[in-house]
Amino acid sequence: MPEALSALLVSTGIVALAEIGDKTQLLALMLAARYRRATPIVLGILVATIANHAFAAALGAWLTQALGPDTLRWVLGLGFLAMAAWTLIPDHLDADALRLKTGMGVFMTTTVAFFLAEMGDKTQVATVALAAQYQAFLAVVTGTTLGMMLANVPAVLVGDRLAHRIPVRLVHTLAALLFAALGVAALTGWAG
């Protein structure tokens, strides 16, 4: 499989799975309940995700240049293993995120809230690592953005009706296994 296609598919799958039950998905549910206007919320999520993940992928690309191959292999391997463990820890939306300021409109409120909520979040960190691993900037940004949209658009459109039916623990376990597999692959030098 070509490297860019592999990067796209892995990035999409990992982020879609990791995002289930994540604080940004909880934020999407909250925004949908508060504003009940799906289109500007979905567009805000898209814009915030593209900006955030492009920044993260650029950082990942820089890391591949800044670190030697052996150091990068260890950083990526241990980083992916840490992501596997982090994925198993349930996220909670803090009280400050629930007090969004109004007056910016639904689109801008969503864009700003999502961009800030993604800073340092596991999907942003995963984007850094995936960009460093695959060295395919566009494929990783496209894949991680697609994964975010696959997880969050249904949350916006059907909200609580869907949220309670998803086996979050199972989904997080699958994401953790994928992160662990990437970690082992990076540490052993196997490139997928």
Q: pLDDT digits over 136-169, tens only?
A: 899 999 999 999 999 889 888 886 555 455 555 6
What pLDDT was estimated at residue 50? Answer: 96
CB 79 within 8 A of CB 129: yes
pLDDT-above-70 percentage for the chain: 68
What pLDDT was estimated at residue 38? Answer: 87
Residue located via tokens 């990437």: 182
Distance of CA 152 to the CA centre of its chain: 10
What is the C-alpha to C-alpha distance for residues 5 and 16, in angstroms, rounded to an integer? 16
Number of residues that this document lists for the chain? 192
Give the chain's radius of gyration (CA, Å). Answer: 16
Closest C-alpha among 149, 180, 167 to residue 19: 149
pLDDT-above-90 percentage for the chain: 19
What pLDDT was estimated at residue 93? Answer: 53
What is the C-alpha to C-alpha distance for residues 46 and 26, in angstroms, rounded to an integer? 16
Q: pLDDT digits over 119-139, tens only?
A: 877 788 888 888 888 888 999
What pLDDT was estimated at residue 140? Answer: 94
Start-to-end CA distance of the chain, whole Å, equals 9
Q: 111 versus 21: which is more confidently predicted?
A: 111
Q: pLDDT digits over 48-74, tens only?
A: 999 999 999 998 888 888 877 777 677
Q: 17 versus 182: which is more confidently predicted?
A: 17
